[in-house]
Structure 1
Amino acid sequence: MGTDTHAFLHDLAQGLEPRADQLVDVVLQRLRRELPELWQYEDIAALAPVTVSEHVTAILDILEHRVDMAEVTTPPGGIEFARRLAEHGVQISELLRVYRLAHASLVRLFQEETDPHTAAPELINAALITLNTVGFEFIDRTAQGSVAAYQRTRDRWLQRRLIMINEASTRIGTTLDTTRTAEELADVGTDHFADLVTVDLLDSAFQEEDMERMEPATVPPVVRRVAQQSVLAGYPDSAVGTGQAHIYPEESEPARALATGQPMRHQVTASDIPTWLAASADHRRALRTLGVHSVLLVPLWARGIPLGLAQFLRHQAADPFDDEDLLLAQEIVSRAAVSIDNARRYTHERSTALTLQRSLLQHQMPEQAAVETACRYLPTGSRAGVGGDWYDVIPLSGARVALVVGDVVGRGLHASATMGRLRTAVRAFADIDLMPDDLLAHLNDVVIRLQREEGQGADEISATCLYAVYDPVSRLCSLASAGHVPPAVVTPVPSGSRVGSASRSVDFPELPIGPPLGLGGLPFETAQFELPQGSLLALFTDGLIESRARDVDAGLAVLGDVLAQAPASLEDTCDELFHALLPTRPVDDVALLVARTRVLDADHVATLDLPSDPAVVSDARKFTSDLLAAWGLEEMAFTTELMVSELVTNAIRYGKSPVQLRMILQSTLTCEVSDASSTAPHLRRAQVFDEGGRGLLLVAALAHHWGTRHNREGKVIWAEQLLPVGGNPEPGL
């Protein structure tokens, strides 16, 4: 029976050989009917007849010539067919199903052919059993090669996808710049994935103040082409130029994708190019010539907020986008969307913090006779955000001036707001004329109180501060530091001597540096030194001298070299310091304050020592009268004599010796009375029959400003008057 069976199958195969094409058509028809999704891929549809033909030919050859199954290998068409399925992301189960359907179709055809050749049931059964055995063994051996080819191709595809995702994670979002991030997305997308990538962002993405709830400002929304990249020069495949605003047509696929947040895959034919892809006839002809055939529309959404839309087009690549490509594009675009959202949030917060920072800083220096000043503030160029650096120039009583530079630890709005609170506190403490060390001690208490109010879990509040007071009468500079770098002091070299090639000597005075504000525990100390007329004081934050390219000592050396050769203009000095020390955008905020000291001429300062005797009040009045006459201010004599009488009387009656009267003429007229008592006077309302208690009330009514300041020797009560119009002589500086 075995010989008869093989002979029967031999004759059957010989008879079917001329009709092999018919067998192939039958198998293909069943495959089309059972697996219609495979025929959407043109390359697979073109390859299927070849693969089935090889399969049928091999089966007939085995039956006719009794080929040893050990010699059977997978036909080339089967290998290529498996590779194409893997490239298109078709599941491997579909490949195995193709084999099963093809085998079942052939078995059925062979069964139909056995009836006309024999009526012996035993022979038919034996032939069918042999045919099934041969067929299954053939499928088993050839499927192994196809599955191996599929897996190798699939592994390469997955590896390529992982490489692309890895590149996207490293190449997209390298900066906190919205446009640059969009450009990086377009660059990655055109690397072996798409032929054209465009990135459109909603105009409202740049204008909305509420970062948590952003909706398009118009319907349909206006978008702006912020980036695009093409494999072709000149962007013939793009209808919108970079930077141009446009609107997606209502109910179009891009508009729906942006509104719903759902990506779309769109097939394009030469006869059906949508208007949203080619608005003009010329561009439609260009796309038809290029052969654009596949488009992916992937919305840019982040944190539930629509930002824009990315489009991926193919025209040179033969394969259309499939579902796997859509998933890959989604993953890449989602990464870019988060980076773009981070960039716009950073830009918004930085802009807000910088606006707050600049609004809190001085823009116009107050007029005063003690110093000439120039200042600069430069925000950081890094992604860390705006910091809390500040400077201040505060006029004080007695023609003195306070120079302040500080640096709040941290970045962003919190640091800027803290800077504003500390700057206000410094001005309040300066207004009551505290010594530098006392002022920093009070400021330290303010920071500690703010820390307690913020509570646990909030950003730590800490800051450094340098507070200096310059007196143009005594030429004395008093300063204290709370963790802040000392200033640079530039003094003119005496005539006839030179320091190197410079005409100035630059020093960084050694002064006791207290702990940063907010730490507490250690006291602050005031250092004092005299400054010649025309000296420079440069107060700065550490961002000016620190950088990744040099250490602090090198930065101080450059700072000293620039100051030694500084031009006469303080504005130019600031520019040269920034140019020398900050060739690129700084990694930290920078505040700089440069002051040139002046000296109040002796002709505009007069002092009178007074014994502790009420009888000398008349001497003080006469001294004041004669002095005002010499200064050409006779019309102020009555008011000034009255204030001097009250202040001297109070000092003699309630203070301690020595008592001194000092008159200062600058842009205002100031009279000061000092004594050795630390007890501060205060205003009080005298009763109708009281014989005293009206002195300070009278002074407060007559003076433009008045107050008390304490020093190591006691206190000074001062009263300041405005000069009459036309009676403001230039101070002798």
Structure 2
Amino acid sequence: MERLPTPAGERPDEPDACPEAAYTATATVNEQGIVTGWSEGARRLLGYLPSEVVGQAAARLLADDVDETAGPEAAAPEAAGRDTAGRERWSGTVALLHRDGHRLQRPLLAHRRTPGDSSITEWLVVSAVAGRPRTPGSEALREWTFTQSPDILAIFDADLRLVRANTAMERALSLTEDQMRGLRLPEIAPYPVSEEAQSKMRLALENGEPQQVEAYIRPTGVSPERGWPTSLAPLKDPDGRVRAVCMTAHSGTGEYLARQRMLLLNDADTRIGTTLDIARTAQELADVAVPRLADFAAVDLLDTPQHGGEPPPVPPAGPLTMCRSAVRSVLEDSPESLVAVGERTTYPALSPVAECLAQGRGALYEGTDPAIARWAAKGPQAARIRAVGTHSVMVVPMRARGTTLGVAFFSRHQRQEPFEPDDLVLAEELTARAALSVHNTRRYTRERTTTMTLQRSLLPHTLPDQAALEIASRYLPAGTQAGVGGDWFDVIPLSGARVALVVGDVVGHGIRASATMGRLRTAVRTLADVELPPDELLTHLDDLVIHLSADESGTQGAAETAAGIGTTCLYAVYDPVSRHCTLARAGHPPPAVVTPDGTVYFLDVPAGPPLGLGGLPFETMETELPEGSLIALYTDGLLEPRHHDIDEALDKMFQALAHPAPTLDTVCDQVLTALLTHRPDDDIALLIARTRALHADRVATWDLPSDPAIVAQARKNATDQLTAWGLDDATFITELTVSELVTNAIRYGKPPIQLRLIHADTTLICEVYDSSNTAPHQRRARTYDEGGRGLLLVAQLAHRWGTRHTPIGKTIWAEQTLTAD
């Protein structure tokens, strides 16, 4: 092969000369076998300057002839003719050619690499060149390794007595090797873990297998949880016989503490914020921190503003008064705290707690810190903390979503290690989780209070007085985190002494459900005032829900729920004169009836679709109820099965309804007691009514011919009936009302015509029926008009008046309130 020229005046290095110090010869070769890098060590080894080698084929540096066209496989590190395909590393001995022409047998190590962000792959070839020995012999090195290792090393003989101990062992146990020599481990370190370690030593002597101690060897003054993991290895002679045991305790404190902190955080995920109880969340924080992080923990919370808003982002300057919400200590009765849970505590303006809250970040303090001393001088609480021997303190503000909620205080007085910065990070993480839970609880409480207030304001505060039904009701909000739902009920007096009963259940929970419930309840009242029959009323209500959904579909993600699609409703009208009850339902559970003889059954009301689906009709059912019957309307939350199936729930409800009770309120209580063994998962509305009847002695009816001359006779009939009822004081208004309504029926209506008076307790109702569907309208008469004044007078004198349409004809009615004698 061609030899590279030797520069004039330069002497090559001697291959067998021993340099003063060892060095490494390094070169790089690309995948095509071209040298791309040449170090100073390579020049010293082979004598070539970089300019003589870089860019040349690496094969020219080999002492043996190779095919230069073979690529990198023929060049170092492939000079041995070995296949490197797919390999990342190669090592071996290669004959190299020195610049002066002699051969050098050198061990080479080659690594395939891709330097930096380059996509080009190259080989890094290195060779270590030994120098003159500058270190002691291997025996001395082994001795130094044993004595100077940072890990605990000790040797115990076959009798399990200490033979050797290194400096780390001496330092950890505060004993010299001479003091420990000849003693067994339990005699050196009288801890339970020492007994376990000695048992494992004996096992290692017997079976010759290494052993691990599950517990930890701990230095003097260090708590057990910060000890070191320990290994026991049998020491064997050349014949394989076990002569001694080597104990090694690795100082893995940092890794162990990091693992323990991670486990504590994982534990906190399941233990902090388990309920919507602020006091319990604060106590959970303290319980998690003690004893795994601190010896004492206290949580103090700032007061929530009276108007229900958020506390200020930063507490005001000056002394801070907070409520002690949680305490936990490793000592019985928590002597570190002068303040009991639920009491108030005040922190001076310059105390660490006040400064921490003002700065919005946690802080570490030593027990001798001037800030602690100043605090102790101004308050007995800090003095008590110092009196129990506290030597390390952490103060962490409880902040969530930019709002300061309180402070968490941690201290150590039993364990000797002070808090470290990593402990502060851990405490801040734990406190942040508790603070977020407290913040969410307060927000949920505010929202629930707002929803409850809205819900209560939309439900009837008092049930109206009427003669048709005796009524009692109950409303129970849901006890789950989902919040208050949209269940509602209503009692609506109608014309002719009739009464409408309504129970509904809006889909969803929270403020939106309550607001939707209010809109639907208002709509039901409006539709009831125009005297729509139950099936038509539900049809109009169904259309309303569809329109509400269409209005909200473009702005709300949960438009269907918000607009009330899926809402159920039951509407019933009871007439005390005929004792008939007319009902229709939209996806709602059917009502239960209890007859006076104790028979309980469901009314077979046709099951219409829930509101908001559209396109499907609602059907009406009419039934006659004996006087004194009970009718129970309810929402499905009452029968929500948890600890029983639906059949069992129905049986219990029937038994509770049929059980004799002095009042309807007692019946309501019996039903709820029988069915509710837990806080309800859904709202519950319960409405129970007992039917009354207006008998013939309270109702007077006259059929009238369509003749204006009959008006006077109609007035006389009405006056005579009032005298029979002892209602002479109502004669004037009644005569005027009868005269106007009968005259209008004769003039504008169609026969047959009927006059009816109903005496219902404190009201007197005058009704005139005719078969025409044309309804009168109140208007103000002009100066020369001959008519138009009578209906205006009726409207002014009566308590209320209106028109009730029937399938054939209409009824004009006027109701006046009777004054008590």
* Corresponding residue of 1:478: 582
Q: Structure 1 residues 247, 80: CA separation in 2 closer, same or farther (over 3 Å shift)?
A: closer
Q: 1:49 to 1:507 in 2, by over 3 A?
A: closer
The equivalences for 1:183-262 within 5 A come to 183-204=283-304, 207=306, 209-211=308-310, 216=315, 219-262=318-361
Secondary structure at 1:679 match in 2: coil
Asked whether the equivalents of residues 315 and 357 of structure 2 are also in contact (C-alpha less than 8 Å), the reply is: no
Q: Following the alignment from structure 2 to structure 1, what is the Cα–Cα distance between the partners of residues 170 and 270?
A: 39
Map of 2:741 onto structure 1:
647
| Partner SS state of residue 737, structure 2 | helix
Structure 1 pair 236–283 and aligned structure 2 pair: CA distance change class (3 A): farther
Whether contact under 8 Å (1:655, 1:676) holds in the other structure is yes
Conserved 8 A contact 2:320-2:348: no
Rounded to whole Å, the distance in 2 between the matches of 1:465 and 1:574 is 20
Are 1:548 and 2:642 counterparts?
A: yes
Q: Is the 8 A contact 2:222 2:417 kept in 1?
A: no
Summarize the Cα distance change of 1:212–1:453 in structure 2 as closer, same or farther, 3 Å threshold: farther
**C-alpha root-mean-square deviation of aligned residues, in Å?**
3.6
Q: For 1:14-33, what aligned pairs fall within 5 Å after superposition?
A: none
Query: Match for 2:786 among 674, 677, 691?
Result: 691
The 1:251/1:530 distance shift into structure 2, 3 A limit, reads same
The equivalent of 2:95 in structure 1 is none
Q: What residue in structure 2 maps to residue 111 of structure 1?
A: none
Cα distance in 1 for partners of 2:221, 2:727 equals: 104
Q: Is 1:180 aligned with 2:280?
A: yes
Q: Which whole-Å CA distance do the structure 2 matches of 1:172 and 1:625 have between them?
A: 77
1:360: Cα distance to partner?
A: 2.0
Is 1:310 the counterpart of 2:404? The answer is no
AA aligned to 2:439 is D
Cα separation, 1, equivalents of 2:173 and 2:629: 95
- Shift, 1:49, TM fit: 11
8 Å Cα contact 2:170/2:177 also seen in 1: no
Report the secondary structure of 1:620's partner residue: helix
> Given that residues 85 and 150 in structure 1 are in contact (C-alpha distance below 8 angstroms), is that contact kept between their aligned partners in structure 2?
no
**TM-score, structure 2 normalization:** 0.68
Residues 190, 229 of structure 1: 8 Å contact kept: yes
Q: Per chain length, whose mean CA-contact separation is higher, i.e. which structure has more relative contact order (CA < 8 Å, sep 6+)?
A: 1
* Match runs of 1:559-708 below 5 Å: 559-666=653-760, 667-708=762-803
Whole-angstrom distance in 2 between the partners of 1:428 and 1:410? 24
Indicate the larger mover: 397-406 or 517-526: 517-526
| Amino acid aligned to 1:423 | R
Map residues 31-46 of structure 1 onto 2, 5 A cutoff.
none
Q: TM-score of the superposition, structure 1-length normalised?
A: 0.76
Q: Secondary structure of 2:250's partner?
A: helix
How far off is 1:215 after superposition? Answer: 5.6
In 1, Cα distance between the equivalents of 2:309 and 2:380?
41
Unaligned runs of 5+ in 2: 1-17, 19-131, 149-167, 179-216, 228-246
Question: Partner residue of 1:41?
Answer: none
Q: 1:695: how far off? A: 3.3
**Residue 537 of structure 2 aligns with which residue?**
439
Secondary structure in 1 matching 2:813:
strand
Contact 2:313–2:402 under 8 Å retained in 1: no
Q: Percent identity between the aligned chains?
A: 55
Out of 599, 602, 622, the residue aligned to residue 505 of structure 1 is 599
Deviations 1:285-326 (A, max 9, x none): x54553211111111110111011111111112211111111
2-side partners of 1:663 and 1:282: how far apart? 81
Distance of 1:250 and 1:8 partners within structure 2:
64
Give the 3 Å change call, closer, same or farther, for CA 216–627 of structure 1 in structure 2.
Answer: farther
Q: Distance in 2 between matches of 1:691 and 1:289?
A: 101
- The residue number in structure 2 matching 1:325 is 423
Q: Deviations over 1:617-671 (max 9, x none)?
A: 2332221121112112234323312211221222233223332111011211110
For 1:210 and 1:300, locate their aligned partners in 2 and report how far apart those are by CA, in whole Å.
Answer: 17
Separation (CA, whole Å) in 2 of partners of 1:353 and 1:46: 69
Tell me whether 552-561 or 172-181 shows the greater mean CA deviation: 552-561
- Matches of residues 262-273 of structure 1 in structure 2 within 5 Å? 262-269=361-368
Q: Which amino acid aligns with 2:745?
A: A
Provide the residue aligned with 1:57 in structure 2.
none
Q: Which amino acid aligns with 2:337?
A: S
In 2, distance between residues paired with 1:619 and 1:349?
64
Contact 1:202/1:307 (<8 A) preserved: yes
For 1:718, the equivalent position in structure 2 comes to: 813
1:644/1:80 Cα in 2 relative to 1: closer, same or farther (>3 Å)?
A: closer
- Contact 1:390/1:406 (8 A) holds in 2: yes
Say whether the 8 Å CA contact 2:291–2:329 is kept in structure 1.
no
Change (3 A) 1:603 1:53: same
Matches of 2:654 and 2:357, distance apart in 1: 58
More helix by share: 1
How far apart, CA to CA, are the structure 2 residues paired with 1:53 and 1:269? Answer: 36
Mapped contact 1:607–1:660 kept (Cα < 8 A): yes
Q: 1:46 and 1:664, CA in 2 relative to 1: closer, same or farther beyond 3 A?
A: farther
1:527 offset after TM fit, Å? 1.3
- Mapped to 2, the partners of 1:707 and 1:677 lie a distance apart of 15
Partner of 1:709: 804
Equivalent position SS for 1:274? helix
SS for the counterpart of 1:409 is strand
Change (3 A) 1:169 1:214: same
Contact 1:405 1:467 in 2 (8 A): yes
Equivalences for residues 27-426 of structure 1 within 5 A? 47=171, 149-151=250-252, 153-204=253-304, 207=306, 209-211=308-310, 216=315, 219-269=318-368, 274=373, 276=375, 284=383, 287-288=385-386, 290-426=388-524
1:280 deviates by 5.6
Do 1:239 and 1:279's aligned partners in 2 also have CA atoms closer than 8 Å?
Answer: no
Letter matched to residue 506 of structure 1: V
Paired residue secondary structure (1:320)? coil
Q: Distance in 2 between matches of 1:289 and 1:419?
A: 60
CA apart distance, 1:517: 2.0
What's the secondary structure of 1:578's corresponding residue?
helix
Deviation (angstroms), 1:359: 2.0
Distance 1:177 1:402 in 2: 41
